[in-house]
A and B are shown apart, each in its own frame.
Chain A
Amino acid sequence: MDNVQILTGNQAAAMGARICRVQVVAAYPITPQSSLMETLSQYIEAGLLKSEFIRVESEHSAMTVCISASSVGARVLTATSSHGLLYMHEQLHWAAGSRLPVVMCCVNRAVGAPWSIFNDQQDSISQRDTGWLQIYCRNNQEIIDTMIQAYRIAETVNLPVMICYDGFILSHTTMPVAVPTSEEVDEFLPPYKPHTILDPATPKNINPVIFPNRKINHEGVLCHAYMEFRYLLHQAALNARRVIADVSREYAQKFGRDHGGLLWTYKSEDAEILVTSMGSLTMELSTAVDILREQGVKAGLVGIRVFRPFPRAEVAEAFCRAKAIIVFEKDISYGFEGALSSDLKASLYETDIRIPIANYTAGLGGRDIKARELVAAITESLAEIKNGTNEPITKWLNCYTG
């Protein structure tokens, strides 16, 4: 019998960390992450979670503490948003290059200048080249379930995982959340066994300076150089597609909830038009799909759950039967287009799928997005696609553009 609690996204994440028995938590306050760490502080100080809690003096140090604690074999957690994530950027690279299963919640928030405390996804999406896996959650149930899956994925592929969920929209909104027990989670999560050896019995030097070319060491082993380790990281990230799908399936079998693995679909089987997005915006889009269906438009939705590794093959399969694709995303790669749009187009390029794609940047700096606005945009784009005036340039939803 599920223990259903009414939780905010941040509370769901904190509860997830608790039932995963994290051993070291390090974080720095930032809106809208703060209540996640406050909840965890309560758990730890009340003895509900046995964990070291390092109240670091910056986000950069938060990630650093996670890296070294994970290196000696502790299961770790940190969380941040926006500028906090940007501040630890250097350490994101370091964690991935170290091949450590650090798990972090990114409570998505816009970045400055100028300041915004409200939601968009520019923060996490601009970290897509760091080697971190990225999973975008659409509701609070998915947050807690993804926390549990994340440790399993991270500790299997030896890569850090970023769990992204929209600031305020999910972090501060209450929803019913079924909470597994620690014992159920223990069955799903074997103890973490690090590949790094930091042990006085076997002295090793970890992550020193490395040459460009391979060298034979003092034991006659032909050792990797920088490029080989980068290749291994990339292969691990690619391999993670299969691991994420497997873990998601196994989780669904054990806990009865399936969030779709790499991506999920809604009313897509006979859809002529497919809309797509990541995170909580997919819920708004599913309402828009319902409205369009009532209007006689055969619309469907593809929710991209995993952004890195990008589900190249799954995307081709999911979109191939549509006549039009409309992408909505809360980010922009200045001077080009939205990141999701680019990755989607790149995935379709090597197939023979040539479907018109319209792309929208939406909700930057927390601008609210209503289902009817999405419906209006989709309708307009469909009309343009139909009369051949659709352009590949990014449109800005509900934004004054002169």
Chain B
Amino acid sequence: MSVSVQDKLFLDRFKVDEVSHLRIIDNKKCIDECRDQACLYLCPANVYRVEKDCITVNYEGCLECGSCRIGCAKLNIEWRFPKGGYGVSHKFG
């Protein structure tokens, strides 16, 4: 079953910073060395997507759970919190 995570993220309130708080350290590694590409599955906000021959980081919808940081088999993701007050802001929590 295909679910649009986009519809879910539209429900949330985000204050988006212009600068990404997530960065793939070496995208070449993702394509050449990483067989599992776990980030494509375990990210609850589908932040990581394959486009042409690289993985893009759609940080705007990040729910800040940290899963990609420790779930990446190559530990190839540089992960910071968004700047204070930025990022997702829960209405109900």
**A and B: interacting chains:** no
Residues of B within 8 A of A (CB): none
